[in-house]
Structure 1
């Protein structure tokens, strides 16, 4: 979520709480037990306005962090949060609000919630605006402050964040490895057998009860493995990393791995970690959040590489290891340039069969469940639709795509669309696919992970266009469908240029046309018009 430049709110933004949080027939906020709290009780307090919704995955992930910080600060008595819901029904609002220990605008007051959205220019959620004791906006980046620094960010001013960053920079300059692996209360990492391995005196575990002094880390390469033991993608990648790790160790390469765990359950973490050959930070260690911020971790798994000089060599080599295995070592820019040349040659030689055929998996399925050979689709324009039933933005976009699909098929039969599901169970897949007129990859098909990787799918819905030669035309076809519908077909640069030229000519002939389009676009902005991408659901 983008706020003001550099995250600094304009100093002129000052608000009187009574006027922005109450109205003529309501002078109170509510708690999740329906108790009413007068807005006047917030006078003299710092207030966070939390824009969020139960349907938003990033919100669900962030809210527990905010609850933890709120509970830690509650003893101070000078900080309060007000929930501004973007839910679409009261039942969803109540269920989500029941998990929150703070106040809320009543769900029934939709006018006030809409006014706050407009007042604070909310374009994505979760979104947290912090007001000081006088109602002045101190930051619009409260989500980032909480996510990155937790309770240390209090009182959530730019000055406080600057202090934290200066402290971190000082530690990084003086002791980079200690900054990466240690915390104020811990100077050790742990081995799979439960031993504590001191960072100050010893920093590497090389086998059963074997410790090596920190001085011997010089000249070694360290992989920081950000993972959750039971998370599906981590479960799939970890064996590959174990294979690479053990192969490199067997060759005598100077390579170590330290896991940065994000497990929710300690027992699950312990059970999985005891099978791993490397070190780890302790379960639920606060440094995990610090490191996720430092390395700007967008998702997991991530394997960040620290070079022999303590500097970051690569921010993430998971995809490279999945694709190239031990060839990625020693993870230098020169090595990655070599790999990029290989990848480029592979992209240039890409065909539909090279991306959709894997061993015996040489088909997709039709609406009747019959297998459709990939060979039958060669030479056609293909759209790959990455989507899921549980994703509200996907369900909002699918009807538009269905309409566009029928329009394109009516004028060109050499066109097809394939659904690539991120659904969590077969029932959800079947229900969602029943709304679609096109082909699909079978549920939980192993080709999905490869397609996610080669097209760098970071959020859904995503729509990828493949041309008749099998090469990628664009990975941004969703936007083209949203803006131009079937007119964007076949989604090539040449076609887009034709559309732009036609629009320019139309504008020249009728200057008011642009205003009409702007007004029409504004009229379609609804609560459903969100795209969830990474840590935010933003308005499409």
Structure 2
């Protein structure tokens, strides 16, 4: 791999000198830029074009470019921060490619197995076999190694330095820092040690220590000192940090006080933050189940789709041994706002403009009296403008709509993130939103409930014991400017089912008589009869329906099939059932053109997908079972993924 950054900016001779910065076109026809003042200062070199007929050059970055404080804004811990509301802090950074790092052959990576003791003593690991006996903090304070880690839950994390802002390891660092800060506030038996492996191919030797200090300045925890380079390299090698490729740019180890390996990655910090302590699999499983319980209690649509999926999987797995659905054991008790926000009823929220005036502060108890509370999980503010427009529409219709912003500052330092949002609120004139006091593990739990990776999302809590919504953003975008309120899939489902159940056979049929050759079938004669309305859009279904027709008539006495063409048909005489002489319109309440619709003996719709039940005998079901809710639910969850 090249150790040079090659820019394909080419320049041709043609009356303009190379310093002019004018745009030129080389013989290949490629239009390229001229020199920038910064490139001149940085010592770029030239390489002649390989095209014989062209005298243009390619600019090459010189190898071993010094790493200076001027570049620190591009690297962790202070990355650029872009809020998608036309407000940008900092400048875009550039990604480089690096050659493989070369390690000493003397140490092989440890054979680390979760649940077992570390193959080497952790004191020996961190001291490089007793060669060092202290760790360091970012203020230069030296701490005795044994005193710092003995008898504690320990996290050892290794990173390549310098680290690009906004790459995967940058995000991991922020998860670890947030976890450490919160655990230290609670005085838990916990310590973290950071180990930096320098990218020697990127920075010169005299710049390694400033880069190390800059990186360490973000961490409030302990670190292996810069001066102990052999110890740092040994730890990184033993924990498997063997490449500087971005896909392998960090390694982590979590130990209990007895040096048993609890975790060998950083996923628990990303998902749960400080709540993951004491980091055991059983505790993490408990947290996962609690999140799932909240989701199922909050959102009935999510609950039903989840249970349907589990039941389908169980039916397929057991086959003939299947004996019916398993009872749902999760409570149906509504989720309180306090439970959702992990706070007390007396917790105060302030308006997003930072005002502390009496009318600009509200308790969670008072906020829970609202009919609709929207938790805006704000990652990059890409949904901020649309959410405010949605809120204003609801207010105009005298509908309660309170927004609580939940900050997810996973890609930026807190100060830059806060500054960007203050500017965004001011720019968009947003003053009515509430801000929840930031607690890292609470934000992460809400993020787990929404379950949308690194994007804005919305969780909706409906007051009065009503159902909520875990996919609020997708639902808001899907329903647009409709009058759906509260904005939940369960409300949409109830409204849609109400409209569908209000339809009768007469609603579909606009003629009083249906003919079958010379005979007639009056609509009045269809009352108290099961009817299959066939729209004739599937030839394969036509054959199946013909084969099943007599059996259906035998199993459901008085039932009938009626053919409803979608366009003016030629006379069809081979059908054994009545047919409409003219096309009918599909009611707007339907979201598709059906094939076979089942009406019960009350003339109400029972199924929009009755073709799925033509094998009712083999499946042990009724052709006229009421499956309308399940069918509508499947459509809804297909449009808006749970």
What TM bracket, shorter-length normalisation? 0.3 to 0.5
Structure ID, larger Rg: 2
TM-score of the superposed pair, with normalisation by structure 1: 0.46
TM-score of the superposed pair, with normalisation by structure 2: 0.39
